[in-house]
């Protein structure tokens, strides 16, 4: 029995899966795919691992699976991650799914795009007009408003009810992403800051371990802007 995780800890769903598997104390082999070196575009990765040229991917005894949310559900069915993080009860599971399905276009698209246009693209010499950049920031802030008020602001401690689930981990790793582009949601939304701290504590030391590279980039960016 073997489980490989193709990942790059700069990618938020890669971090989610890495943290989950570490938390589950499951014996897996991380296979690092350096996105900055375009290793996900290599002939080998494209033909042997993922024709979509993305991470994360798992290889579970030869069964290759892409798409982080699909992977989490599979790992839950295979009892590799604990039931508490992805409930078996039909209605509770539906509530977690409701968030996971919403988050693709509701949250992830906007945080990722902001990170890409403000941090990644300039590294490759692509610069965007200030007003266009402001448009991307505005859309991300709108998404964060919805997350802050319509998910967190519902009187529960976590995204779904009063217990940590994978929904919190997907959201938390996502909200780390714009920090590399100089925007920290925790500094703008007190409820997000309180919640994020609890999620981080729940998944530590693995949460911090998965964010070492990201936090280094954040620090480097901050000193460059001083």
* Residues within the interface to a copy of itself (CB under 8 A): 51-52, 63, 65-71, 73-74, 77-78, 90-91, 93-94, 97-98, 100-102, 104-105, 108-109, 146, 150
Output the smallest distance, CB 63 to a copy of itself, in A: 6
Q: How far is the CB of 149 from a copy of itself (least distance, A)?
A: 9
- In sequence order, which residues have a C-beta less than 8 Å from that of residue 141 and are 6 or more positions away? 188
The nearest distance, CB 108 to a copy of itself, in angstroms, is 8
The sign of the torsion formed by the CA atoms of 175, 160, 158, 73 equals: negative
Nearer to a copy of itself, 113 or 221 (CB): 113
- Residue 19, sorted as left (phi over 0), alpha (psi -120 to 50) or beta, turns out to be alpha
- Smallest distance, Å, CB 157 to a copy of itself? 18
* Least distance in angstroms from the C-beta of 52 to a copy of itself: 7
53: preceding bond cis by omega (within 30 degrees) = no
Q: Which is nearer to a copy of itself, 26 or 74 (CB)?
A: 74
Backbone torsions φ then ψ of 155, nearest 5 degrees: 85, 5
Q: Which is nearer to a copy of itself, 23 or 93 (CB)?
A: 93
Residue among 94 and 213 whose Cβ is closer to a copy of itself: 94
**Sequence-separated (6 or more) residues with CB below 8 Å from residue 126:** none
**Smallest distance from the beta carbon of 212 to a copy of itself, in angstroms?**
27
CA separation, residue 13 to residues 4, 90, 92, 161, 211 (Å): 15, 24, 22, 22, 12
The C-alpha atoms of residue 167 and residue 58 are separated, in whole angstroms, by 20
Task: Select 17 or 202, whichever has its Cβ closest to a copy of itself.
Answer: 17
The distance of Cα 83 from the centroid of its chain, to the nearest Å, equals: 20
**Is 100 within 8 Å of 85 (Cβ atoms)?**
no
**Choice between 35 and 206, CB closer to a copy of itself:** 35
């Amino acid at each position: 029995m073997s489980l490989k995780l193709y990942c790059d800890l700069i990618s938020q769903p890669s971090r989610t899966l890495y943290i989950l598997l570490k938390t589950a104390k499951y014996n897996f082999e991380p296979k690092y795919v350096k996105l900055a070196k375009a290793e996900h575009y290599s002939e080998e990765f494209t033909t042997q691992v993922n024709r979509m040229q993305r991470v994360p991917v798992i290889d579970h005894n030869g069964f290759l699976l892409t798409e982080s949310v699909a992977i989490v559900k599979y790992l839950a069915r295979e009892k590799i991650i604990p039931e508490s993080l992805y409930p078996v009860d039909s209605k509770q599971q539906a509530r977690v799914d409701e968030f996971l399905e919403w988050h693709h276009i509701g949250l992830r698209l906007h945080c990722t795009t902001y990170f890409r246009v403000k941090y990644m693209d300039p590294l490759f010499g692509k610069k965007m007009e200030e007003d266009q950049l402001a448009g991307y920031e505005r859309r991300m802030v709108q998404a964060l408003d919805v997350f802050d008020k319509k998910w967190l602001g519902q009187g529960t401690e976590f995204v779904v009810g009063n217990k940590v689930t994978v929904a919190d981990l997907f959201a938390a790793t996502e909200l780390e992403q714009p920090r590399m582009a100089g925007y920290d949601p925790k500094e703008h939304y007190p409820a997000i800051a309180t919640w994020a701290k609890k999620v981080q504590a729940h998944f530590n030391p693995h949460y911090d371990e998965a964010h070492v590279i990201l936090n280094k980039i954040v620090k480097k960016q901050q000193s460059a802007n001083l």
